[in-house]
Amino acid sequence: MSTMAIRRALLSVSDKSGIVELAQALAARGVELVSTGGTAKAIRDAGLPVKDVADLTGFPEMMDGRVKTLHPVVHGGLLAVRDDAAHVASMEEHGIGPIDLLVINLYPFESTVAKGAARDEVVENIDIGGPAMVRSSAKNHAFVTVLTDPADYPELLAQLDADGGTSAAFRIRMAGKAYALTAAYDAAIASWFAFADAFGNPLGPDALKATPFPATLPLAFARKDELRYGENPHQSAAVYVPRGPATPGIPQARQLQGKELSYNNYNDADAALELIAEFAESDPAVAIIKHANPCGVAQASTLLAAYEAAFDCDRTSAFGGIVATNRPLDAETARAITGIFTEVVIAPGADEEAQAIFAAKKNLRLLLVDSLPRANRPGLQLKTIAGGLLVQSRDNGTISAADLKVVTKRAPTERELADCLFAWTVAKHVKSNAIVYAKDGVTAGIGAGQMNRRDSSRIAAIRAAESAEVAGWPASRTVGSAVASDAFFPFPDGLLAAAEAGATAVIQPGGAMNDADVIAAADEAGLAMVFTGMRHFRH
Ligand SMILES: NC(=O)c1ncn([C@@H]2O[C@H](COP(=O)(O)O)[C@@H](O)[C@H]2O)c1NC=O
């Protein structure tokens, strides 16, 4: 493959940025310009000579632009192998002229979906002729140059000026980029059809039910950033965002200060944001996260009080933690948070004074989100395993007081019930086996990620006792608390460990073979226990 001169170019772009300047530069270099309707108009309006593609094909652009370039004169011009005698003969026979350069970008399908357009408008933004031309010219990269990104226009001109044509290496690179574009574009279209409801698209709720898991999984994500490294320094990492509509999350947050986010920061900050999103509508709330598990969560009448209570739950673990709030940050809360080393703070806003306080901590990463994501939104979770990919719907199950079944002789008091629901909500965001003690809207002790439930229960109680000691409280806050278990207690031992720690109320899914024994043990210990009928495993 050698350097290829550009004599004739076809320009057809939806995103017209830089196109007039490029057309100008090409015309100045003696390139003949051919173009489609809107692009031709922009070029012509700039006073440049341009031929309409309709003049080439002998057909007008028709059917609202659905058919413009889908013609052998265009595709023959892009696909002909220039040094194949038979191809050249066909070109001569049918009056097909070679097209050396295609400058193109596609109908804005993804942004049309993202703005919530109606089905008809989305469908009309599925580009047909554009991808066809991209594929033709990229296939014929031995002779044809295809540009799909305005960012590549300067390099083209530099090549023309340096060598009088494009290099094989450039054409190959642009062809690869072009196929990546059509692949991602088609994946975006396919996922709109497949996951309409999961991604909040406008096909309606029945679309997901009809095809929960399509035979082929189309995913279209664009790389947002390459990260310094992955979970460990010897791992490489990047963060991708959907090419279509995205739930506002950590990748969409505005980072006001601090070093760039690491892989672990993304993971922990996401855990924090998802947890605090559960409290979007409630009193001021704060969650402190370490290694994707909460180490303190609290609700209070002010954000400062909520932070202090969450911090007191486990001051040791809060060091180097990720803090998320459900309210914009104020100065007092900012001052308290910066009292210890904190990696990341996420909030739906921060007033000027708070921002100034954070600014003094150069390494602290401050992320502001426009709004908290909807906790019970639909969506999918993906996890790679050796040889495959596990896909499931998000755990968006929620429980209210009306869903609970009292199974003990004693029903929970109003306060116990509130603490049960609070502890249950937090437990949903704790790695299994999860045990969460809570009192007065504050976590008292959290046991996460143990291989048996009794150990989680004990660890949570130990943490709570240590926290009481550190804070100088007369007793552990597990005394008089409610305890939540993410899955049923298979035996009474885990529940008894909680009773021993002073819990007076229990919330758990129920459904164990031994439920009767567990209920009897709860009655004997004077506990009030409710069943949710819903489990919240999180692995
Ligand atoms: N139908 C066709 O033959 C066709 N050929 C090119 N397009 C697209 O039309 C757009 C440019 O249109 P215009 O120059 O009229 O603004 C480009 O995004 C291009 O990908 C087409 N449009 C849709 O399929």
Residue 125 sits in a domain whose CATH number is 3.40.50.1380
Which of residues 142, 169, 192 is at a domain's end? 192
Q: Using one digit for the tens of pLDDT, what is the confidence trace for 112-127? A: 988 888 889 999 999 9
Query: pLDDT for 133-163, tens place per residue?
Result: 999 999 999 999 999 999 999 999 999 999 9
pLDDT tens-digit readout, 52-111: 999 999 999 899 889 999 999 999 999 999 999 999 999 999 999 999 999 999 999 999
Distance 113 CA to ligand 1 centre (A): 18
**Residue 91 shares a structural domain with residue 181:** yes
More confident residue, 207 or 126: 126
Q: Provide the pLDDT for residue 118.
A: 87
223 in a structural domain: no
User: Where among 368, 392, 417 does a domain terminate?
Assistant: 368
Task: Check if 65 has its Cβ closer than 6 Å to any atom of ligand 1.
Answer: yes
Confidence of residue 346 (pLDDT cuts 50, 70, 90): very high
For the Cβ of 130 lying below 6 angstroms from any atom of ligand 1, the answer is yes
307 and 431 co-located in one domain = no
The ligand 1 atom at the shortest distance from the C-alpha of residue 71 is 3
* Cα–ligand 1 centroid distance for 123 (angstroms): 14
Q: Across residues 169-176, what is the average pLDDT?
A: 97
* Per-residue confidence (pLDDT) for residue 28, from 0 to 100: 96
In total, how many domains does the chain have?
3
Q: Which atom of ligand 1 is nearest to the CA of 107?
A: 18
Looking at residues 512-538, what average pLDDT do you find? 96
Residues 70 and 124 in one domain: yes
Residue 168 falls inside a structural domain: yes
- pLDDT of amino acid 195: 66
For position 378, what pLDDT does the model report?
81
Lowest mean per-residue pLDDT among 318-322, 467-471, 483-487, 526-530: 467-471
Please tell me whether residues 351 and 443 are part of one structural domain.
no
Quote the distance between the C-alpha of residue 346 and its chain's center: 16
Pair (306, 451) in one structural domain = no
Specify the pLDDT at position 183: 92
Give yes or no: residues 363 and 305 share one domain: yes
Phi, psi of 55 (to 5 degrees): -70, -30
Classify residue 68: in a domain, yes or no: yes
pLDDT over 90, % of the chain: 85
Position 328 in a domain: yes
Compare 244 and 54 and report the one with higher pLDDT. 54
Q: What is the mean pLDDT of residues 445-467?
A: 93
**For residue 25, what pLDDT is reported?**
97
pLDDT at 349 over 60: yes
Q: Tell me the pLDDT band of 191, cut-offs 50, 70 and 90.
A: confident
pLDDT score, position 190 = 86
Q: How many C-beta atoms surround the C-beta of residue 231 within 10 A? A: 11
- Does any ligand 1 atom lie closer than 6 A to the CB of residue 107? yes
Considering only CA atoms, which residue is closest to atom 17 of ligand 1?
13
56 and 169 housed in the same domain? yes
Per the prediction, the chain carries an average pLDDT of: 93
The pLDDT of residue 202: 40
Other beta carbons within 10 Å of 163? 13
What is the three-class DSSP state of 498? helix
Q: Residue 394: helix, strand or coil by DSSP?
A: coil
pLDDT at 198 over 80: no
pLDDT at 205 over 60: no
Same domain, 413 and 483: yes
Q: Which of 134, 121, 124 is nearest to 184 (CA)?
A: 134
Between the CA of 54 and the centroid of ligand 1 the distance, in Å, is 12
Ligand 1 centroid to Cα of residue 193, in Å, is 22
Residue 96 maps to a domain: yes
Domain-embedded: residue 197: no
In this prediction, residue 437 has a pLDDT band, given cuts at 50, 70 and 90, of very high
pLDDT tens-place string over residues 13-49: 999 999 999 999 999 999 999 999 999 999 999 999 9
pLDDT at 196 (0 to 100): 59
Reduced DSSP (H G I as helix, E B as strand, rest coil) percent helix, strand, coil of the chain, to 5: 40, 20, 40
Residue 226 lies in a domain: no
Tokens of 243: 């090419």
pLDDT at position 208 is 41
Helix (H, G, I), strand (E, B) or coil at 11: strand
Whether 187 and 321 share a structural domain: no
Does ligand 1 lie within 6 Å of residue 280's CB atom? no
Which amino acid residue places its CA nearest to atom 21 of ligand 1? Answer: 129
The residues carrying an active-site annotation are 139, 291
**CB-based contacts of 46, cutoff 8 Å, min separation 6:** 20, 23, 24
- The finding on whether 13 has its CB within 6 A of some atom of ligand 1 is yes
Final residue before a domain boundary, out of 317, 347, 368: 368
95 C-alpha vs ligand 1 centroid, how far in Å? 23
Residue ranges making up the domain that contains 63 = 4-192
- Give the pLDDT confidence score for residue 469 in this predicted structure: 93
Q: Are residues 11 and 155 in the same domain?
A: yes
Please give the pLDDT value at position 216.
76
Residues 12 and 62 in one domain: yes
Q: Is 449 in the pocket of ligand 1 (CB under 6 A)?
A: no
Query: Which residue minimizes the CA distance to atom 2 of ligand 1?
Result: 129
Query: What pLDDT band is residue 222 in, cutting at 50, 70 and 90?
Result: confident
Tell which residue, 420, 409, 431, has the closest CA to residue 524: 409
Q: Give the three-class secondary structure for 492.
A: helix
Same domain, yes or no, for 449 and 503? Answer: yes
Give me the CATH number covering residue 298. 3.40.140.20
Question: How much is the average pLDDT of 468-492?
Answer: 95
Q: Is residue 201 part of a domain?
A: no
- Ligand 1 binding pocket includes 135 (Cβ within 6 Å): no
pLDDT of residue 17: 95
Q: Ligand 1: which atom is nearest the Cα of residue 105?
A: 18
Query: Residue 209 has what pLDDT?
Result: 43
